[in-house]
Amino acid sequence: MTARQKIELRLSQVRTRLNEIAGLEGDDFTDQVKAEAATLQTEYADLELRHQAAIVADGVTETETATDPDAEARERLELRGRVSIVDYIDAASNGRDVSGAASEYNAALEIRGDRFPLELLAPDDLEERATTDTDGRVTQQSWIDRLFATTMARRVGVTFASVAPGQVSYPVTTAGGAPAQRARTQAAAEAAWTVGATVIEPTRSSIRAVFNRVDALRLPGLEDALRRDLRMAMAEGIDRAIFVGDATTTKNEADITGLTGASIGETTITQANKAKYDKTLEAFTAMVDGIHAGGLGDLNIVSFLGAWKLWEQTIANSAAENQTMAQFLRAAGLSWGLRGGVEAATSNGKFAAVVGLARGIRNAAVAPVWADAALIRDPYSGATKADVALTMHTFWGFKIPRPANFKRLKFVT
């Protein structure tokens, strides 16, 4: 079953359960069921975003189905099944363009023959295999990777999309008129309206690993593990930059301004109030504006580690009820995902959470990824030491065309 099919199956299951809950009445509609419904609604919104991303990754438009793709999409999917990352590594190590199916695949993606298509970096389900050396004494088990690359940027509502070479523009209507009652022959007043455009240029994220050929012979699967590690580290690094930004010391055009530094609405909780369940709920309720969010179920919350620990460990109400703040907030209809590893870059953990308001969230914050990515295998620079370098470049950008769809929760003294 493909990743897209798994998402579609879960979407169907969530819809079925929400329909069942909608039919409950009276005593059957308990607080527990109410909390379950809120959680499912949040999961449904997250699944919709992931489903859209899966459609883009499959090369199929939103109006097409997996059972009836057009001829171009069919050809592209067929070519993708015939190419391997090894084709690109061999071509790069020999200083030539890819050939055969890989060349056709690049042509279908409209990228050069010496470039690596980013679509091939989609994580695969890994099969665990034990390998035994020739002397029969040492059995190597499956590799234990250092990272588990998951992205919380999608949960908060960031739209990822593969784009063609060139600048990417996202037009936004920023102001307009309002309807008013008019007499039968009275003309409508001319409305003052404006349209803005958010333009994004590619920036580059790069990562590099060097290994020795002796180690590759001593440890079967070493190069595959390093390529996997590079890919996961790149995904984690891009996700982190979307939250906390990434400013370089050289060219300003390479800077990424993250959600914790962007000009978006911010709700604060004082040191005295952050451990009070009612004040925390009040802060989230204040984010519901009736336009971009129609209720607590429309808040796509990504909590940072410090806030999550506080909510899970602090007793709400009274000790007799033994209910944590997290349990209280979930019962009120909130749910959240957790993003660790960002506190050091956010004023010692003062940022508690980033929230996306789910109504109209599509393209409210965008992270375009240029398909013209490069994976370079260099066995020459360190040839005298039998070193091989793997370098990965990803070209992407991040901006927020409609800041009104995003809020921050921050702890202050």
* Percent of residues, the chain, with pLDDT higher than 70: 76
pLDDT reported for residue 119:
63
Identify the pLDDT of residue 66: 38
pLDDT band at 132 (very low <50, low <70, confident <90, very high): very low
- Nearest to residue 87, comparing CAs of 108, 105, 107? 105
Tens of pLDDT along 43-59? 776 777 677 666 655 54
Higher pLDDT, 248 or 322: 322
Structure confidence at residue 63 (pLDDT): 37
**For residue 299, what pLDDT is reported?**
95
Report the mean per-residue pLDDT for the chain. Answer: 79
**Residues 356-382 as b or e (16 or more Cβ within 10 Å = b):** bbbeebebbbbbbbbbbbbbbbbeeee
Q: Which residue has the higher pLDDT, 203 or 176?
A: 203
Listing DSSP states for 7-49 in one string gives HHHHHHHHHHHHHHHHT--GGGS-HHHHHHHHHHHHHHHHHHH
What was the pLDDT predicted at 120?
65
- Per-residue pLDDT tens over the stretch 31-43: 787 778 777 777 7
Q: Between 264 and 79, where is the model more confident? A: 264
Residue 306: both structure tokens together: 């410090």
Q: Render pLDDT for 55-73 as a digit per residue (tens, 0 to 9).
A: 655 544 333 333 444 456 5
- E strand residue ranges, 88-233: 116-117, 131-132, 139-140, 159-163, 168-175, 194-200, 203-212
pLDDT at residue 84, as a whole number: 72
Give the pLDDT score at 382. Answer: 92
Q: For residues 342-349, give the mean pLDDT.
A: 63
Name the band, by pLDDT with cuts 50, 70 and 90, for residue 232.
confident
Please report the pLDDT score of residue 46 as a whole number: 72
Give residue 384's pLDDT. 93
pLDDT recorded at residue 365: 94
pLDDT digits (tens, 9 = 90+) for 135-145: 445 555 556 66
- Res 162: pLDDT: 83
Q: Where do the DSSP E strands lie in 177-331?
A: 194-200, 203-212, 265-270, 299-304, 315-316, 323-324
Task: List the domains of the chain with CATH numbers.
Answer: 3-121 (no CATH), 142-173+193-413 (3.30.2400.10)
pLDDT of residue 182: 80
**Higher pLDDT pick, 7 / 29:** 7
pLDDT band at 286 (very low <50, low <70, confident <90, very high): very high
pLDDT at 378 over 70: yes
Bridge-partner residues for 163, per DSSP? 370
Q: Quick one: pLDDT band at residue 247, thresholds 50, 70, 90?
A: confident
Kindly report which listed range (82-96, 190-204, 228-242, 398-412) carries the lowest average pLDDT score: 82-96
pLDDT at 329 over 70: yes
pLDDT of residue 348: 52
pLDDT category at 148 given cuts 50, 70, 90 is low
Per-residue pLDDT at 33? 77
* 172-184 average pLDDT score: 79
C-alpha pair distances (Å), 3 with each of 39, 53, 78, 156, 307: 22, 11, 17, 20, 31
The reported pLDDT for the residue numbered 397 is 92
Cβ-based neighbour number of residue 128 at 10 Å: 7
**Mean of the pLDDT values across residues 205-231?**
90
Provide the pLDDT for residue 340: 85
The arithmetic mean of pLDDT across residues 258-267, rounded, is: 92
